Structure 1
Amino acid sequence: MKKTILVIASAPLHNGPRMIREIEALKPFYNIVAIGATPPPDASIKYYAVKTIDKPFPDKVFTKVYQIFTGKRYLLPLWLTKRRFQKLLYLIKPDFVIAHDPTHLPYLVDFPKTLFKLIYNAHEYHPLEFDENTKWLNFWGKYYYQLYKNTLPKVNLLINVCESIAIKCKEEFNKSSIVIPNAAVYYPDLNPVLNNYASLIRLIHHGIANKTRKIELMIDAVKMLGNSFHLDLMLVPVDPLYYEELQVYSRNLSNIRFIKPVAYNQIVPFINTYDIGLYNLPPVSFNNRIALPNKFYEFIQARLCLVVSPSVEMKKIVEEHDLGLVSDDYTAESLVETIKRLDLTAINRYKQNVHKAAYCLSAQQYQNRLVDALKEI
């Protein structure tokens, strides 16, 4: 009989790449139950809305009052919320619980250790998520640091997205972890689209419109490169004002285009026809400095030549596998100088290198690591 895994997230599951890949990797071996803001794509997975474990109104009031009088975020489990967790978990009776939201950890570590094994799948390093903002760091940063300090020692398995965060958790909390990056699933039928004749080099950047990412720097770079280069921005307008600012900023540029986002499972095939996957991420925070995002691996599965800023983790992989070029710094001028080093011959060569590395840098390479780790705990 298969054991049961409960996956708990606050985010939507229908388009959450990390949760989707996790469920796909585990469902051949386990019964999966999922909690999230939306159901997972696989309709056969038993699903509960995250509101079933959300704080009820009295707990929200208590948290707010506590915060007003102490200037701190309440760290301990709240009684009524705890009851919601208890009711659901005693109903599901999971053998393993995989948490994706650190704020759920205080409730989950409070259960008897014999009830289930607890895994925390961290999407980033939360104590420094927005460390460029002093106000955030002094309030939320301290809260997440103490939360990690209280709960990580009680977690059976910690999963991190990159080596830099794994090292940080070991240094700060003496907690070892396994690394499972945000690698995209392998696309065996995709091949690099080689550009041998076209006079136009097409670049793509996709993701969310987030002001801290300073997407305008990529716009500036392509503006300076001129009309032989064309950048498509496929952005989800999570910050509508910033999205509109970007549109206004580039409205007179004929080589910049905003295109409608495609469904998550269509991203890789859709961008396959482009020449360059472009990502410049200014190091305004710890997580930005060591970022290894979904789009990086989606560029790889799409068999694109990569041009990225010198973020530690991306730089390491690009250079190790010769997948493209890394700019010297994070400025638009550095991006221009980097892209100018590419001609069609070089782009095609990098695309072929990416094609060779696509399987070893795919999610399939890490699925066994997760399955094996669960067996060992």
Structure 2
Amino acid sequence: MTEPLSLLILTFSPIRSDPRVLKQVELFKDKYRVFTCAYGEAPDGVAGHFALPEDSRGWTNDRVGLATRQYKRVYEGLTAVQAARAVLPIGSFDMVLANDLNALPLALDLRPRLGVHADLHEFAPREKDDDIKWRTFVAPFMRWLCKKYLPLTKSVTTVSDGIAAEYAKDYGVATGVVTNAAPYLEATPRPVGSPIKLIHSAAGQRYRKLENFIDAMRSAPDWLTLDMIVIPNEPAYVEELRQRAVGVPGIRFRDPVPYAELVATLQSYDASIVFLPPTNFNLANALPNKFFEAVQARLGVIVGPSPAMVALVREYGFGTVTEDFSTASLSKTLLSLTPELVEGWKKGAHAAAHALSAEQQVRGWESAIAAIAAPTAALDSK
């Protein structure tokens, strides 16, 4: 019997806590001989794992290289790339699935027999375009990576239609969409109680403007509460948020929970606030994990006028859209909530749960990798 093709899933992230990459592992581990290269221990079910040192990094601090546009030097100076090159064999894999732009040149250099698929989790050239230093020095490096390496891939996917359109427009590569959908959960909506319980989970990063939620809740009545699960990415900022919330009775901070427990944790709430001020291009086009986790938990959602989220909320009727991204608009929306309204949203989420599940979305990866494997599959069938 012919041995299954080998597939390396490459990421410069802690793989056991990266939901998007874990979905790739789960999808392919029974179809191919899956190997992984990432930070941390091997995920379950893989044929082999190449662990990266925890102190290696997939981003650059080579200011001279960036300023003088010595981009090959900049890339080769990434310590994660150096560590991966030291352990990954060249020419040994049939296919490589490269997660994010910084893994792509390395994936191509491994010379997989059939080719490379790139899964791009953001629009890399504008990832931090709210920062003038980043726009001046890092963005040109990202554009160089896109222009030089994206055309060498067999296929490309990303997380939303807006980001896919931007890659196609700027770099001429057909880009599919695989959203950050959560796995389907067999569940039913729980009744809305009193108070109406809201939840927001997020990375604690200043550009996300999480203070908006606290300020919007200052005038909230006692029939409304908001719990916040904030990952301490920027500890000083998270402490500022906690201090800002002192004296706001409806706000409570909860400790982060493991990803595997998150949807179950969300089920005790009524609606999730997925409100992302468009401080950069990627946030303007975001379709984040928390949006889909709310659907599987059978919650309503409250979103700002972010096009990708608005389209799905209106199509399936499981939430509402604020007038704009101001605190006043968010506060107005919160004050308009009723148990009957939220009950209807939860029913809408239940109806949408199958269509918006990871099991449906990952077909984009499945077909892309199958197309790369197709020449061998055709030979095997003869």
Q: Per-residue deviation at 1:340?
A: 2.8
Tell me whether 1:279 sits opposite 2:274 in the alignment: yes
**Aligned with 1:203 (options 198, 209, 216):** 198
Which one-letter code corresponds to 2:332 in the other structure? E
- The corresponding residue for 2:159 is 161
Q: Deviations over 1:129-169 (max 9, x none)?
A: 01111111111111101110111000111111111111101
- Given the superposition, is the C-alpha separation of residues 373 and 303 from structure 1 closer, same or farther in structure 2, using an over 3 Å criterion? same
Taking a change above 3 Å as real, the CA distance of residues 140 and 64 of structure 1, as seen in their structure-2 partners, is closer
Matched, 1:349 2:344: yes
Structure 1 pair 279–51 and aligned structure 2 pair: CA distance change class (3 A): same
Q: Does 1:19 align with 2:21?
A: yes
CA contact (8 A) 2:158 2:177 kept: yes
RMSD: 2.5
1:72 deviates by: 3.2
Aligned to 2:105: 106
Bigger mean CA offset, 285-294 vs 42-51: 42-51
Which TM-score applies when normalising by structure 2?
0.89
3-state DSSP of counterpart to 1:36: strand
Once the 2 structures are TM-superposed, how far is the Cα of residue 312 of structure 1 from its aligned partner? 1.2
Does the CA-based 8 Å contact 1:276-1:306 persist in structure 2? yes
- Structure 1 residues 110 and 33: CA distance shift in structure 2, 3 A: closer
2:146 partner letter: Y
Q: Distance in 1 between matches of 2:49 and 2:55?
A: 13
Quote the residue 1:96 is aligned against: 95
Paired residue for 2:176? Answer: 178
| Matched residue, 2:255 | 260
Maintained 8 Å contact 1:73/1:139: no
Residues 13 and 48 of structure 1: is their aligned pair in 2 closer, same or farther, counting only changes over 3 Å? same
Distance 1:242 1:373 in 2: 40
Give the drift of 1:84.
6.4
1:329 to 284, 305, 324: 324
Bigger drift between 87-96 and 219-228 goes to 87-96
- 2:192 is the counterpart of 1:192: no
Report the CA distance between 1:286 and its aligned residue: 0.4
Change (3 A) 1:127 1:80: closer
**Whole-Å separation in 1 of the counterparts to 2:182 and 2:194:** 31
- 3-state SS in 1 of match to 2:17: coil
- Which residue of 2 is the match for residue 123 of structure 1? 121
CA drift at 1:43: 6.0
- Which TM-score applies when normalising by structure 1? 0.91
Which amino acid in the other structure matches residue 312 of structure 1? P
8 Å CA contact retained: 2:271, 2:302:
yes
CA distances 1:10-56 after superposition (whole Å, capped 9, x unpaired): 1101110100111111112111111111124416552211249968x
Other structure's SS at 2:218 match? helix
AA aligned opposite 2:34: I
> Counterparts of 2:76 and 2:327 in 1: how far apart (Å)?
48
- 2:117 partner SS: strand
| Closer, same or farther: CA 111–7 of 1 in aligned 2, 3 Å | closer
Change (3 A) 1:73 1:357: farther
Question: How far did residue 297 of structure 1 move?
Answer: 0.5
Instruction: Report the residue type matching 2:99 in the other structure.
Output: H
Structure 2 residue aligned with 1:74? 71
Gaps of 5+ in 2: 373-382
Instruction: Tell me what 2:379 maps to.
Output: none
Partner Cα distance (1:237, 1:306) in 2: 24
Quick one: structure 1 residues 343 and 66, their matched pair in 2 at CA, closer, same or farther if it must change by over 3 Å? closer
Contact 2:39 2:54 in 1 (8 A): no
Match in the other structure for 1:294: 289
Name 1:139's counterpart in structure 2: 137
Q: Displacement, 1:199?
A: 3.2
Sequence identity percentage: 30
1:292-348 deviation digits (Å, cap 9, x = unpaired): 110110011110011011111111111111111010101111112222332111111
Q: Give the drift of 1:280.
A: 1.5
The question of whether the paired residues in 2 share the 8 Å contact of 1:8 and 1:101 is answered with: no
SS in 2 for 1:109: helix
Shift of the 156–358 alpha-carbon distance from structure 1 to 2, 3 Å rule, reads same
User: Which whole-Å CA distance do the structure 2 matches of 1:162 and 1:73 have between them?
Assistant: 31
